[in-house]
Structure 1
Amino acid sequence: MESYAKGEPVPALLEETIGANLARTVAAYADREALVECASGRRWTWAELDADVEAVARGLVGAGVQKGDRVGIWGPNSAEWTLVQLATARIGAVLVNVNPAYRTHELAYVVNQSGMRLLVSATSFKTSDYRGMVEETAAGNHALERVVYLDDEESWSGLLADGEGVGADDLAARAKELAPDDPINIQYTSGTTGFPKGATLSHRNILNNGYLVGEVCGYTEADRVCIPVPFYHCFGMVMGNLACTTHGATMVIPAPGFDPALTLKAVSEERCTSLYGVPTMFIAEWALPDFESYDLSSVRTGIMAGSPCPEEMMKKLIAAGIDEMTICYGMTETSPVSTQTRRDDSLERKVGTVGRVCPHLEVRIVDPVSGDTVPRGEAGEFCTRGYSVMLGYWDDDEKTREAVDADGWMHTGDLGVMDDDGYVRITGRIKDMVIRGGENIYPREIEEFLYTHPDIEDVQVIGVPDPKYGEELCAWLRMRPGAEPLDADAVRAFATGRLAHYKVPRYVMVVEEFPMTVTGKVRKVEMREVSAERLGLA
């Protein structure tokens, strides 16, 4: 049987704009709680949220923002971030998500590459002086006409004041100009090499992905979703915010940036029913010294994504009563989710696979060289097709054609294997695969094995240059608190007889942390460079 699967055709896709869908939710659940910002204690019902979204939408129109104009948002998670997300969609502006970790070089690139006219920014957060960076790059930001600071009362009020002359008729007229397939969002991929590419997404792309991911989680208006993942990424703004807006569920923002204690405090105090995170977030939460003091009994489901879930972590979630946790897999270019485990899937499927194809999508595994669909059980490149595939990379037709083929298949660059039931395992990136003396080695397999060592908190495995074999394996280890650091001999002793000899890492480095992108992806390219340098292999 071929490695091809097609998602079920139900529930029906939402063929409407984000603004039209929000209006239906507001009408149905006006007095229910829509949004909670824990840091400030502010709360909104759906009717109150709608009024504030409308005020921002009027302000943007009054500021001269036209349909299709690019409006940037730069800063950590906040209620204002959500307001700007929904307001730009309502008036047909294209929201450009700017990574909160960017510095001047990257900011200038994104502002100019997208042709951004207006930027809504925080003034500062942690080590980021956003206002300073905006001012430093101002001379070279050619299209940027205005910057509004969402945490500066005078600046934010000034934007709202711009909308005083904009009437309901003006917003209604703008809404009539909009269509579900219009571009509504540009998200710059957190690529670990080269300049980021601007994945351009429509109402139809992200509204439906948020809706259908929420359907798999079983969301209703009674759910309260804790969203500690960044809004600037699809995980926060689509799987978080839009999953909630399409179901009338409550969005709970535990903190501006990830904090394990504040996340569990929000879950406990707000009685959240769903919790999101990448595996490193869940590991940090469950490792808190006072973990037992948090009441997580309200949580039934959630989403873990970004990298594979270690089996031990999933067992801890189940032990805490969170037995409907789902695993999602996808990428920015596909809005993002392509596969998801189901709430009642077995432990083995939740830790060993990224689920099966989502509704209204197709997935297949292809030979990276020939492009042919491989038989079930064989590894190849994961490809997906359907409503979720991006419109393209902003102003970059060449890169778009490299990623999306003529038949509409998005080529992910990920290696996957599909089993007889259609469940997919992601075995690594095509470029992360290590070839040692002609043997193809998938780092994920070795990481999962080393994770069973009682003293290892977390592990990443990479390939480093080797004159004899072409590549050798190097393991980066984070030790559990109080554990003695392991060396290569200790790892070899642990692995001997349990892993094939060529899969045993030759080099071991004990580190405090891994180099990460802001979305929680490990930067293996950087790890390879650092390892080669430290080991004298460069």
Structure 2
Amino acid sequence: MQFDAVLLPSRRAAMVAQGHWRDRTINDSLDECLRTCPDKVALTAYRVEVGDVKRFTYAEMARMADRIAVGLTRLGIGKNDVVACQLPNWWQFSLLYLACSRIGAVMNPLMHIFREHELRFMLGHAETKLIVVPRRFRNFDYESMAKGLQAELPALRQIVVVDGEGPDSFNALLSGPAWETEPDAAAILTAHRPNGDDITQLLYTSGTTGQPKGVMHSANTLFSNIIPYSQRLRLGTDDIILMASPMAHQTGFAYGLMMPIILHASAVLQDIWQVTKAVEIISAEHVTFTMASTPFLTDLTREVAETGKTVHSLRSFLCAGAPIPSPLVEQAQKVLGLKIVSAWGMTENGAVTLIDLDDADERAVNTDGKPLPGVEIKIVDTTGAQAPAGTEGKLLVRACSNFGGYLKSSHLNAMDEDGWFDSGDLARMDERGYIRITGRSKDVIIRGGENIPVVEIEALLYNHPDIAAVAIVGYEDARMGERACAFVVQRPGSQKLTLADIVAYLREKKVAMQYIPERLEILDTMPATPSGKIQKFKVREVLRQRLAAEQTS
């Protein structure tokens, strides 16, 4: 694969001179851990459904990473080849990334919620050579899905199955054979190690164009975010970091997989969010920090309040993905006894803003934080001029952690010649430089921290034989932040649609369940401009009125 990371070269000299890009990779961090703390527990992975717990010391982690790396080369994987990983938060996910980094392959994490519709595009676009999937997870057969897609994807040479049986299993191909003891292993593990500017991660994000965009990150862009992030949160070697958010998101990948190794700390993974289990894990493993979206914090607070169990070791909880309700912050601090940290970021640049630990609690409620070191932000009006403090405008970001560009879509990079990236979000900034996200200029709904690709789902629904027009909008939800509502105008003579009809239709299209609207509203006509463009602000107002009427009835 040739990676067109066009946004990196022009920034290199300045980023190196300012000390943000240090040309370090995860290999350097892992090797340091192997030298300084080989017997420290590096990774503890809980599989909730099967009741399994797997632990690795740093020495064991490094050895297994080397083993899997050599195994990948035996399957024809080399430098700049894309290895996809559609796994939950299992130890194989972490070790696979470390193995890819040993040989210069590029990891493409894929959310386990994706089905054929999403995977067909992503795997084809990335020219993926190998994908690792579970045999089954949460009653879904990933092995059959992957093998069913392989015939449509000429670049996809190999499917490796965790918990699989036979020659295609992860154990048979990668983690079982002692590949690291083979005569050529040492040469393989050193010949193609990546440098700081090589692409190390390809992560797809939902956009407004109807297709996902492949975000390219180098070690330099990721490290330049993770290091100041951990410093602001005062995280270090002694911390134990719980990650229950999916590692196929930037949240889980950067701060659950990479950050603990960079800090020489310990990571704890939970593959399925069950709050009772989370409390048990926090207590048993003495977890000190975690990061997740609002629903996780809501559940944790309620569980502790109702059961009387404690999470005394947990010092801070970084909550991002949606504004944190004020009552939740107050209750969480009282019940859990920890600091709630608000933040904002994107796949394209990681965490951009977060509050300080010494900030007043109200900052977590009323703001999304201030920029990290190496990050500049500005709010501009419709003319491009900087907006006054407290005024809503378009949020631009210029950061050391800004990505290298969108794979094969440089025309969508949204970065100007001065290095300002258009986030697609609207925000306002106060006199102290703290921001508050106020809306999105791009058409994306965020449900429980998961971006719903509105344009893509609308396009599928337009093909429904009974639908003449469709508009999907978000509405507030106390637990998930937002949920999606589909407004449709039916074709004349068609039978009245139900939400069940919409769900069944999109499931037939193999759409991820989290992307399917959870409410349906029928309209006689769709509000539109004279040119025919749907006026979504009017659709949102109709929804607001109907929700209000339901609450008062």
Task: Tell me the distance in 1 between the aligned counterparts of 2:325 and 2:367.
Answer: 11
> Is structure 2 residue 360 aligned with structure 1 residue 346?
yes
Number of the residue aligned with 2:343: 328
Corresponding position: 1:281 with 2:296: yes
1:228 to 239, 244, 250: 244
Give the AA of the match of 2:405: G
**1:23 is matched with which residue: 7, 31, 49?**
31
- The structure 1 residue matched to 2:424, chosen from 413, 417, 422, is 413
**Mapped partners of 2:119, 2:411: distance in 1:** 23
Are residues 1:248 and 2:298 paired? Answer: no
Cα distance, 1:361 vs structure 2: 1.4
Corresponding residue of 1:397: 410
Summarize the alignment of residues 25-424 of structure 1 with structure 2, pairs less than 5 Å apart.
Answer: 25-39=33-47, 40-152=52-164, 154=166, 155-160=169-174, 161=177, 164=182, 166-175=184-193, 178-191=194-207, 194-254=210-270, 256-288=271-303, 291-334=306-349, 336-367=350-381, 369-400=382-413, 403-424=414-435
Among residues 410, 415, 440, which one is paired with 1:429 in the alignment?
Answer: 440
Instruction: Supply the distance in 2 between the matched residues of 1:535 and 1:31 (Cα, whole angstroms).
Output: 67
Shift of 1:106: 1.2
Deviation at 1:327, TM superposition (A): 1.8
Task: Give, in whole Å, the separation in 1 of the partners of 2:152 and 2:183.
Answer: 32
Q: CA deviation at 1:173?
A: 2.0
- Looking at structure 1, the residues matched to 54 and 389 of structure 2 have their Cα atoms a distance apart, in angstroms, of 51
Closer, same or farther: CA 522–306 of 1 in aligned 2, 3 Å: farther
Distance 1:216 1:348 in 2: 18
List per-residue Cα deviations over 1:298-355 (Å, max 9, x = no partner): 1101321111111111112211354333222111011x11111111111111111111
Please state how far the C-alpha of 1:413 moved relative to its aligned partner.
Answer: 0.9
- Gap regions ≥5 residues in structure 1: 1-6, 434-442, 445-461, 463-470, 480-508, 510-514
Equivalence for 1:496: none
| Structure 2 segments unaligned to the other structure (5+ residues) | 1-14, 447-453, 455-470, 480-498, 500-505, 507-511, 528-553
Instruction: List per-residue Cα deviations over 1:230-283 (Å, max 9, x = no partner).
Output: 0000100102222211111111112x2222222121111111111221001111
Aligned partners of 1:227 and 1:276 also within 8 Å: yes
Indicate if the aligned counterparts of 2:352 and 2:371 stay in contact, CA closer than 8 A.
Answer: yes
Alpha-carbon distance in structure 2 between the residues aligned to 1:384 and 1:138: 39
Q: Which moved more, 1:64-73 or 1:16-25?
A: 16-25
CA displacement, residues 195-216 of structure 1 (integer Å, 9 cap, x when unaligned): 1111111111123322222222
The C-alpha deviation readout for 1:412-466, integer Å capped at 9, x for no partner, is: 1111111111111111112579xxxxxxxxx99xxxxxxxxxxxxxxxxx9xxxx
Change (3 A) 1:521 1:16: farther
C-alpha change, 1:11 and 1:421, in structure 2 (3 Å) is farther
Q: State the one-letter code of the partner of 2:228.
A: L
In the alignment, the residues of structure 1 paired with residue 18 and residue 367 of structure 2 have an alpha-carbon distance, to the nearest angstrom, of 23
TM-score by structure 1 length? Answer: 0.77
Q: Give the letter for the 1:174 counterpart.
A: H
Q: TM-score, normalised by structure 2?
A: 0.75
2:377/2:398 contact within 8 Å kept: yes
Aligned residues: 449
Amino acid at match of 1:257: I
Deviation at 1:284, TM superposition (A): 2.0
